[in-house]
Amino acid sequence: MSCYICGKENYSVEHAPAKSFFPKGMREDLITVYSCKEHNEDTSKDDEYVRNIITMYIDNNNTSFEHFENKTLKSLSNSHALHKKTIKNKQTVTLNGVETAALDIDRERFDTVMRKIAYAIFHHEYNKRWCRKLLVATDHLKTDDMKNDKIGSLVEEMKRIPVSFYKGQNPKVFQYAFLQGAKDDFEEHCLKMKFYQGFEVIIFPHHEHTEPQLNT
């Protein structure tokens, strides 16, 4: 077995998404991939940070709300640094006529975690490495003027493509589907991931970059 990112000899097993996304009692049949020592760095803090951000999304399901109450709030209270990082530059905004809070998101950190999950899901699905740089898009994270960024605007186009079937043994936490691109090539497929049946992320492969890349 070889590493899901670089193809080197494996060192251990990683979960995709990380276990911290799943409440206790919902951790059966999680997706796992083999990882080398280099790519098996302890990213639990990054996973926790991103999990916290996603569980805050108001249109998620009850599983997300309960996980927010049981885990997210506890993680923020247990770590002053994480709490400070999460609520930095917090401000009140109006979105779709509803007053809510906007947080300053570490987008590079968020995208890195999403890429790790995407590379793992691709390897799990096709038993090969995804040899592409990946672009991360979601319309649930906004710019300072509460609009989609250039990548996030692609989500609107992708939403018009129907998804007949999502995969995932724990659909209340995580589901995914690969969407065929213009070319009938696995490497060119887009990946749609849905967390807690509400927060959607779409992964676009960059065909000009033929090696995996976690950071921009």
Task: Specify the pLDDT at position 120.
Answer: 96
**Distance, CA of 103 to CA of 88 (rounded, Å):** 7
Per-residue model confidence (pLDDT) at position 91: 64
Q: Of 100, 185, 176, which is closest to residue 142 (Cα–Cα)?
A: 100
122 half-sphere exposure, CB direction, 13 A CA radius: 29
Q: Which residue has the tokens 């991103």?
A: 50
pLDDT in tens, the chain (216 residues): 889 998 888 888 999 999 999 999 999 899 999 998 888 777 888 999 999 999 998 899 999 999 999 999 998 888 777 766 676 666 665 666 666 666 778 889 999 999 999 999 999 999 999 999 999 999 877 666 666 667 767 777 777 777 878 999 899 999 999 987 656 778 888 999 999 999 999 999 987 777 888 887
Going by their DSSP bridges, the two strands 174-179 and 91-95 should be labelled as unpaired
CA–CA gap between residue 170 and residue 157 (Å, rounded): 27
The predicted structure's pLDDT at residue 185: 78
CA atoms in the 13 A half-sphere facing the CB of 40: 18
Can you give the pLDDT at residue 4?
A: 93
Q: Is the pTM of this model over 0.85?
A: yes
Tokens at 160, concatenated: 């018009």
Is the previous residue joined to 17 through a cis bond, with omega within 30 degrees of 0?
yes
Residue 31 to residue 108: CA distance in whole angstroms: 24
Count the residues in the chain: 216
| Domain spans, the chain | 43-206
Question: Which is it for the CA torsion 64, 65, 70, 71, positive or negative?
Answer: positive
* CA 30 – CA 170 distance, rounded (Å): 8
Please give the pLDDT value at position 145: 64
